[in-house]
Homo-oligomer: A and B are copies of this chain.
Amino acid sequence: MVNETQHTCSASSSSKSDGGSSSGSESSKESSRCSTPVLDAERHERLREKMRRRQDSGDRWFSLEFFPPRTANAAVNLISRFDRMGAGGPLFIDVTWHPAGDPGSDKETSSMIIANTAVNYCGLETILHMTCCNQTKDDITGHLQKAKRLGLKNIMALRGDPVGEEWEEEVDGFNYAVDLVKHIRNEFDDYFDICVAGYPKGHPEAESYEADLKHLKEKVLAGADFIITQLFFQSETFLKFMKDCQAIGITCPIIPGIFPIQGYHSLRQLVKLSKLEVPQEIKDVIEPIKDNDAAIRNYGVELAVSMCRELLDSGMVHGLHFYTLNREVATTEVLKRLGIWKEDPRRPLPWAVSAHPKRRVEDVRPIFWASRPKSYIYRTQEWDDFPNGRWGNSSSPAFGELKDYYLFYLKSKSPREELLKMWGEELTGEESVFEVFTCYITGEPNKNGHRVTCMPWNDDPLATETNLLKEQLEKVNRRGILTINSQPNINGKPSTDPIVGWGPSGGYVFQKAYLEFFTSSEIVTALLKVLKKYELRVNYHIVNVKGQNITNAPDLQPNAVTWGIFPGREIIQPTVVDPVSFLSWKDEAFALWIEQWAKLYEEESPSRMIIQYIHDNYYLVNLVDNDFPLENCLWQVVDDTFELLN
């Protein structure tokens, strides 16, 4: 029942600090129109609003804590873990603050950069921890400004561990977490959601449990939005704590911190650090099996599952926070057993969205980066607004250069030796390249018995959707049509379809058939003759590394190739073939031949020269069959081309 129609556009949020002054919102005629994306309400909500909505609707949720890795390689692995564990549907993740690890720096292993990657490249709602003791006000403001600039919206405000053994209050310094909370609210108004820590057994340094509760209440009064607790071993510990909090008037959400025991040593270390005591009955079980990792982990999972069930059954708990120790197995197992791991995460859009506030409205992307979404996000990170509803004709999409191919979140997960086994220790000609592409498509081992599980343009095995085209793809790759991207045509499948579905249920999704490949100039010449017959049906763009570009796209307009129709919503068209962006993608696609493949071989080696030859002489081609209700004609186009060549 709606009687009033008050909607506000929340495109600009104001803040007191951070230099950039956002202009006051005007409600003149000019600014009366605004577009907001529509598929995923959560995308527009602050974390505290998401939490409230989940609580109101009775949904149970979980969140995951990670710490920053120590090496760049470990960072690459952690980011793959973000992607995998992100698929289970955490409400947020958080990244701890390691004062010893230069946490606010631009190093690929810093807390700041890991959190940045989680938000921007993995699309995860993220809380960045931040400690305050032994730091100047300016340092802290600087960190917060940087976090804001990177698109981080949530801070876990902590005191941090004092450096020396004996700790003394600094006059006018940041002595307690509450000082940090106040500082954030003073300097950044309501920009950040703030989380603070709660101690179900009382902070080890607190005068008493009651005194500690009072400190907690002070933190909430100072502006904290919710509380995550220290780990504990028994559900009663948490439930008592929660009731005590409520009794003194703490009404914000309190999220229990869950620690699935994963090994004897990690438990001992954590207990030492947190000054907690492990209950005797747990010790009794663990001590006898302390050398059997698997047994301890199984026990830990069992214990966590039953404690979580008690918490959830109490009716007082809606969300669970997991201390993962950067490991996947135990936490995932607990979540699956609890039934709160999303087995079939609904995709709000066909591509993974970024959680940067600037990108909230983004709902259209060129199809070219479908297998390299992180690269797309990186190359568009400087954009100030993102296409919404329609890609539009772009005069200069201004894609950032992708010069540093070893940006850690774009780095191949496979080491050089692995890549050589997949792509050939020694190439003997263009045909051996064809074979690599073919093996990637078929999933069959290559002639040396290795499976090709990634390609320079695809860091992952073939998408399920692409499997629909496997047979035809195999055939054409064998003959030198080296495919790097494709999608089948879809004429109105339910949005819940497990393979091609996306968006809310009750809708229908559509696609135009798409095929993108590298191929020789000889094949291109024949292809162009064949395409004349398909002039009204097939749009094409054909370009070589020098930028010579042949197309029949009308007025360089973008062509929507994926769209969805949903109940009560406007049409969503998340991927387009945009002729202008294609020229930016072309640079990246050609460069990957050299950067990822040719450079595996010695300079001047025959293998390297083969890849260099392909790079210099092949064309990158994309084809769209506009007649989506009919059978995909692109295979016929390719067949006709080969026929013409014979």
Point out residues on A near B: beta carbons under 8 Å: 1-3, 5-9, 27, 29-30, 32-36, 38, 41, 382-385, 387-398, 491-492, 506, 508, 510, 536-537, 539, 547-560, 563, 565-571, 573, 576, 579-580, 583, 624, 626-629
Contact = CB atoms under 8 A, between A and B. Distances in A.
Nearest to A28: B384
B2 A397 contact: no
A29 B398 contact: yes
B568 A41 contact: no
Nearest to A583: B5
A395 B573 contact: no
A560 B554 contact: no
B41 A396 contact: no
Contacts of A5: 556, 579-580, 583
B29 A382 contact: yes
A397 B6 CA distance: 11
Contact of A35 (B34, B390, B629): B390
B2 A32 contact: no
Identify whether the interface residues of A are mostly helix, strand, loop, or mixed: loop
Nearest to A394: B33
Residue of A389, A536, A557 with highest tally of chain B CB at under 10 A: A389
A565 to B, nearest CB: 7
A208 to B, nearest CB: 48
Given A390-B570, A492-B492, 20 more contacts: A2-B550, A5-B556, A5-B580, A7-B580, A32-B398, A33-B385, A36-B392, A38-B393, A389-B389, A390-B390, A510-B565, A554-B569, A557-B568, A557-B569, A558-B569, A558-B570, A559-B568, A559-B570, A560-B569, A570-B573
Contacts of A563: 565, 571
Nearest to A44: B555
A384 B576 contact: no
A548 B4 CA distance: 9
A395 B7 contact: yes
Given A5-B579, A396-B27, A570-B573, A557 B38 contact: yes
Q: Which 4 A-B pairs have the closest CB atoms?
A: A389-B390, A35-B392, A567-B626, A389-B389
A115 to B, nearest CB: 25
Residue of A33, A536, A573, A579 with highest tally of chain B CB at under 10 A: A33
Contacts of A557: 38, 568-570
Contacts of A628: 508, 565
Contacts of A552: 568
Contacts of A8: 395
7 contacts: A2-B579, A7-B395, A7-B580, A35-B393, A38-B393, A557-B569, A558-B570
Nearest to A504: B554
Nearest to A397: B32
Nearest to A625: B567
Contacts of A508: 628-629
A568 B553 contact: yes
Contact of A539 (B36, B565, B568): B568
A608 B64 CA distance: 69
Contact of A571 (B7, B536, B553, B571): B571
A1 B552 CA distance: 8
A27 B394 CA distance: 11
Nearest to A8: B395
Contact of A7 (B387, B394, B551, B573): B394
Contact of A394 (B30, B32, B576): B32
Contacts of A549: 1-3
A565 B556 contact: no
A493 to B, nearest CB: 10
A550 B559 CA distance: 38
Contact of A393 (B1, B36, B537): B36
A8 B557 CA distance: 13
B539 A567 contact: yes
A384 B26 CA distance: 14
A367 to B, nearest CB: 13
A157 B309 CA distance: 85
Nearest to A31: B395
A395 B27 contact: yes
Nearest to A566: B626
A68 B622 CA distance: 55
Residue of A6, A390, A398, A510 with highest tally of chain B CB at under 10 A: A390
Contacts of A35: 390, 392-393
B565 A33 contact: no
A27 B395 CA distance: 9
Contacts of A384: 29-30
Contacts of A1: 549-551
Contacts of A553: 568
A81 B305 CA distance: 78
Contacts of A580: 5, 7
Given A385-B30, A395-B32, A569 B559 contact: yes
A32 B576 contact: no
